[in-house]
Amino acid sequence: MKILVIVAHPDLEKSRGNRAFIDQLRKHETITVRDLYQSYPNWEIDIEQEHELLVQYDRIVFQFPFYWYSCPPLLKKWFDDVLTYGWAFGTEGNQLKGKEFIAAITAGGSENAYRSGGDDWFTISEYLRPIQATILRCKGTYLPAFITYNTDAGTDDYLVAQASQYIDHISSLQKDLIM
């Protein structure tokens, strides 16, 4: 299975969690990492190049910090620009049909904060519904997200352990993720 990880972090150098994930990802030759903020510092997305990349992979992972209850703005722009009518969705839009998608989220807060009655009111899975709906509109398969909580307070050992679990998650067979 060919895996493409699209990383969207506005300040990756300051991110302990996302950098720990990338360090682990780069140890795996079968996983390709694409940093949107590095690729598009001027925010001018090459739609044709992104289309060419997407069709080459079986599974696409969106890795990003949970950013104001959503994804960072360049990833949102990427969705808007790349997932076009007639290519990704609509009558003729079948290019992503059957491809698998995973959201990989880092959150500074605790898991208890993201629940009914918690400081953040809802689960991260509930906040991810627009991304899930987008993937489903594009006829893709939305697989369970990988979420790492407490990245602000987590020790280096904790982040390395989470990075290892992340690799296992995104490399798992679909049937093992949805059991």
Q: Using one digit for the tens of pLDDT, what is the confidence trace for 34-57?
A: 999 999 999 999 999 999 999 999
Separation CA 124–CA 129 (nearest Å): 9
Helix (H, G, I), strand (E, B) or coil at 92: coil
φ and ψ at residue 104, rounded to 5 degrees:
-120, 110
User: How is the chain split into domains, by residue range?
Assistant: 3-177
Residue 93: both structure tokens together: 């839009």
- Which among 31, 30, 40 is positioned nearest to 8, based on CA atoms? 40
**Which tens digit of pLDDT belongs to each residue from 112-157?**
788 888 887 888 899 999 999 999 999 999 999 999 998 888 888 9
Q: Pick the more confident residue, 110 or 20.
A: 20
Quickly tell me which residue has 């992104």 as its tokens.
Answer: 50
**Which tens digit of pLDDT belongs to each residue from 96-110?**
999 999 999 999 888
How do 141-142 and 146-148 pair as beta strands? Answer: unpaired
pLDDT at 173: 65
Does residue 12 register a pLDDT over 80? no
- Which among 58, 106, 60 is positioned nearest to 79, based on CA atoms? 60
CATH architecture label of 3-177:
3-Layer(aba) Sandwich (3.40)
Q: Biggest alpha carbon distance in the chain?
A: 49
Question: Concatenated DSSP letters for 83-127?
Answer: S-BTTTBSSS--TTTT-EEEEEEE-SS-GGGSSTTSTTSS-HHHH
Which residues are within 8 A (CB) of 33 and not within 5 positions of it... i.e. 6 or more apart?
5, 7, 22, 25, 26
pLDDT at 175: 67
Separation CA 29–CA 1 (nearest Å): 12
